[in-house]
Structure 1
Amino acid sequence: MTASLTLGPVLFNWPVDRWRDFYARIADEAPVDTVIVGEIVCFKRAPFFAQAMGEVVERLTAAGKTVWFASPILVGSERERVAMRDLVEADAGLVEANDMGALALLAGRPHAVGPMINVYNEATLAWLAGRGAVAVSLPAELPAAAVAALARAGRELGVAVEVQTWGRAPLAISARCYHARAHGLHKDGCQFVCGNDPDGLAVTTMDGQPFLTVNGTQTMSHGCLCLAEEMAELSAMGIARFRLSPQAMDMVRVAEAFRAVLDGRRGGAEVAAELGGLIGAPLVNGFFHDTAGARQVAAGA
């Protein structure tokens, strides 16, 4: 089973030129196998990226990357439902479903399942496989024992099971926009203030301690999930797909580092130390070690 790297969709509101240039560099330089594209957090952002989508997909495909298309996390209007239906019916490539509505539309045809859908046990995985899922990216909050059980079930079902190994962990989505509210604005008149925070807006507790990260309507971890040191354990479980979630940093360097770990050319601890100095946030891996997600558990502890 050959190990592969997946680059998840950009979750933040980057200017379209930056977004386009990001994918051009990924196409030309990043050792990733699958790239997932699409605006999944806020439907209001989608038109900005739609104008460049064809160019981005063409460049990624020409570079030998497999391109998948991600559905929105939360669909709340008729326009959004129509857009999601159009995405599914376009048949431009494999769709990664991020909500139950997309799963309903994709039933009976090959598709992927994103980490926004809660796949916590073997019965859920089997149900998804029976409806056409060929790949499932697990939620970031699962502990190692659950990942191992789902990896075994995935092998039996013929479903590729994927684990996120880099990037802020997605925790929740809301119909309300936290970013707008933080600036005294309503969602309908948000002025796209989320674009001021290309890596999300830090949330602190009342006593000033870093707590979470806000990305428009999405809540994410404050710390950056990093499972570089757990890659060998994940591989031994049978995990062969490893997901990197884009952050506002040199993601080519991140991809090269994780590829080096997969190839046995670098150690996970060395890579974690290097990347931890670049992200501007603490590294965390607590969920995997069955403790608070915001903790960083030392290897072998």
Structure 2
Amino acid sequence: MTKLTLGPVLFNWKPETLRDFYFRMADESCVDSVHVGEVVCSKRTPFFEPFIPEIVERLAAAGKEVVLSSLALIMSDREMAQARDLAQSDGIMVEANDISVAALMQGRPFVAGPLLNVYNEGTLATLRSMGAVRVCLPAELSADAVAALAASTPMEVEIQAFGRLPLAISARCYAARARNLSKDGCQYVCADDPDGMAVETLDEVPFLAVNGTQTMSYHAMDLLGDVAGLAARGIGRFRLWPQTFDMVAVAALFRAVLAGKAGVEEAEDRLATLCPGAEFANGYIHGRPGHLFIEAGD
């Protein structure tokens, strides 16, 4: 059966908002796996960390697979210590978003996250030799490339199917810089943009989004029209990135399309209603520029 994954929340939401979001996903959503953990900025970790045991317990009780996601960029002794602790998590799958975390797993099973930049069979084989049992591929790959990689490995292959895409991570905090603040004195201003801050060209055309130290796509990935075909080509899992939309309803749409219980056109109309203001794209999977949206059948 094709599975749905809820990726980790990448944005700086209030701790109580995050807790309630995960509780609802545990109790009401149809996703199979849920990722929990801070990926973007370790400065956010202390606020949310006290809620994690309760969230993990609630998700597990609801029958969800829980995955603990690592930071995408580890730069300090403190962050390295956190990574070591994460790698020793007992009985819970870990997602490595930095190659150092993959090495720390020392052969134990883990998920290779989308920020590890897996673009060829050799990288897949190396990660598998390190213990990876699942890989979430970067979003820039075409359907043909994704299918070729899936056919080359016994690992479970996941692709990103919904939401703003994480593209890059930096040591500099763009959200702070945009407000003339230093990274150390950021005042956690990234919380002002719960779905990321749009970045415009000089011609005032939005083309990226900023989430603290992270660069993201401005457009939200929407593979509703593509998931059935990709599943037929050997892709067994699709990742939905959390945003402030109704993610329970979004997941239900993807499940309905995968099960053949909803038509693509109907689902696309419903998704547009669920995500007011969002601009969707799926160009990469069609081998086209990523910001384009290719209609099903085109």
TM-score between both structures, scaled by the size of structure 2: 0.98
Given the alignment of the two structures, is residue 285 of structure 1 paired with residue 282 of structure 2, yes or no? yes
Displacement of 1:170 after TM fit? 1.0
Among residues 259, 264, 268, which one is paired with 1:268 in the alignment? Answer: 264
**2:99 counterpart residue number:** 100
What is the DSSP-based 3-state SS (H/G/I as helix, E as strand, rest coil) of the residue aligned with 1:103? Answer: helix
Among residues 142, 166, 176, which one is paired with 2:172 in the alignment? Answer: 176
**1:247 counterpart residue number:** 243
What is the DSSP-based 3-state SS (H/G/I as helix, E as strand, rest coil) of the residue aligned with 1:101? Answer: helix
Q: Where does 1:35-184 land on structure 2 (aligned, <5 Å)? A: 35-154=34-153, 158-184=154-180
Displacement of 1:145 after TM fit? 1.2
Q: Where does 1:182-197 land on structure 2 (aligned, <5 Å)? A: 182-197=178-193
Displacement of 1:107 after TM fit? 3.1
Displacement of 1:278 after TM fit? 3.0
Amino acid in structure 1 at the alignment position of 2:124:
L
Amino acid in structure 1 at the alignment position of 2:197:
L
Report percent identity of matched pairs: 56
Given the alignment of the two structures, is residue 13 of structure 1 paired with residue 12 of structure 2, yes or no? yes
Q: Are 1:3 and 1:240, in contact at CA under 8 Å, matched by a contact in 2?
A: yes
User: CA–CA distance in 1 between the matches of 2:116 and 2:91?
Assistant: 22
Q: Are 2:170 and 2:214, in contact at CA under 8 Å, matched by a contact in 1?
A: yes
How many residue pairs get aligned? The number is: 297
Can you list the C-alpha shifts for 1:254-274, whole angstroms capped at 9, x where unaligned?
A: 011111111110122322222
**2:194 counterpart residue number:** 198
User: CA–CA distance in 2 between the matches of 1:188 and 1:236?
Assistant: 48
User: CA–CA distance in 1 between the matches of 2:21 and 2:150?
Assistant: 32
Among residues 255, 270, 295, which one is paired with 1:259 in the alignment? Answer: 255
- Runs ≥4 residues deviating over 3 A: none
Amino acid in structure 1 at the alignment position of 2:47:
F
Q: Are 1:228 and 1:269, in contact at CA under 8 Å, matched by a contact in 2?
A: no
5+ unaligned residues in a row in structure 2: which ranges? Answer: none
User: CA–CA distance in 2 between the matches of 1:249 and 1:108?
Assistant: 37
Can you list the C-alpha shifts for 1:91-128, whole angstroms capped at 9, x where unaligned?
A: 24110100111111113111110111111111111111
Amino acid in structure 2 at the alignment position of 1:260:
A
Q: Are 2:88 and 2:105, in contact at CA under 8 Å, matched by a contact in 1?
A: no
Q: Over the residues paired in the alignment, what is the CA RMSD in angstroms?
A: 1.0
Q: Are 2:103 and 2:130, in contact at CA under 8 Å, matched by a contact in 1?
A: no
**1:208 counterpart residue number:** 204
Amino acid in structure 2 at the alignment position of 1:245:
W
Q: Are 1:143 and 1:289, in contact at CA under 8 Å, matched by a contact in 2?
A: yes
Among residues 272, 294, 297, which one is paired with 2:294 in the alignment? Answer: 297
Segment drifting more, 274-283 vs 290-299: 274-283
Displacement of 1:140 after TM fit? 0.8
Q: Are 2:250 and 2:274, in contact at CA under 8 Å, matched by a contact in 1?
A: no
User: CA–CA distance in 2 between the matches of 1:225 and 1:90?
Assistant: 31
Segment drifting more, 74-83 vs 126-135: 126-135
TM-score between both structures, scaled by the size of structure 1: 0.97
User: CA–CA distance in 1 between the matches of 2:225 and 2:132?
Assistant: 29
Amino acid in structure 1 at the alignment position of 2:266:
E
What is the DSSP-based 3-state SS (H/G/I as helix, E as strand, rest coil) of the residue aligned with 1:228? Answer: coil
